[in-house]
Structure 1
Amino acid sequence: MKRIARSLAVAATAGSLTLLAAPASLAAASSTTTTPCATYTASNSYGYGQLSVCPLGGTNYRISGYISTNMPDGGIFGPNCAGWYLRSGSTYLGLGTTVCAQPNVATSTRNFDYSTTLSATPDSAGIQQVDL
């Protein structure tokens, strides 16, 4: 029994020593920096939410987050909808994910996570009312 316990102790010590000595290739890989994601939060009378834009390389981006609206349903006049828009300086990059008010639902929320191509790097985002 003592022999098994001693073998386990030696194996555990040897294992912890090998974990401390990482190969040089792993140490070099961990020093690589990547461009961070930009996170935007918005809230106005149309809706509220959070949006993260992460560069994937070139003009490709991963966009994720959520958008909510607590506007009333538009009834026979159509739905009240809110959507994220992206800008790069004064250039409008387009409308992203939208959410529309639902009958008898106090707050409508939509989660999203997708990849897309943008003509420029976004530097601002906001929520606007969308007519469908």
Structure 2
Amino acid sequence: MEVAVSLIGIVVFLVLKKTVFQVDKGKALISSVLELPVDVNLVGFMLCMTTLATLDEPNELAPHTVLCSVLVMNISVLLWKYSCTLITESGVGVQFPRPILISFISLINFALAVAAIALPTVFLGASM
């Protein structure tokens, strides 16, 4: 129950971060929307660390799970940075020279975000 409440708190913070704390326009707005899977990856990493802290005796997969969580988070950040470089801003507005590539990268980044939450849940037994 504590994990679910903390995840709800993190989701509320992320929504506030995107809507209230920043008033972005143009490329910055699109970049912040594309950043959401990176934030979810960070939540997955924090879930991994919290689950390890609450376990009495970690299983043999614990070090590998932490390493995979860090690796997934780094790949997500790199994909986000690359997708932000594909966006251009001109006087007219935001332009997407390669929209299919940006969509594909965003889809991969979303899959990595789901994997970041699934890693501690499946391999460490985190309960929601």
* Range of TM-score over shorter length: under 0.3
The structure richer in helix per residue is 2
The structure richer in strand per residue is 1
* TM, length-normalised to structure 1: 0.23
Between structure 1 and structure 2, the one with the greater Rg is: 1
* TM, length-normalised to structure 2: 0.24
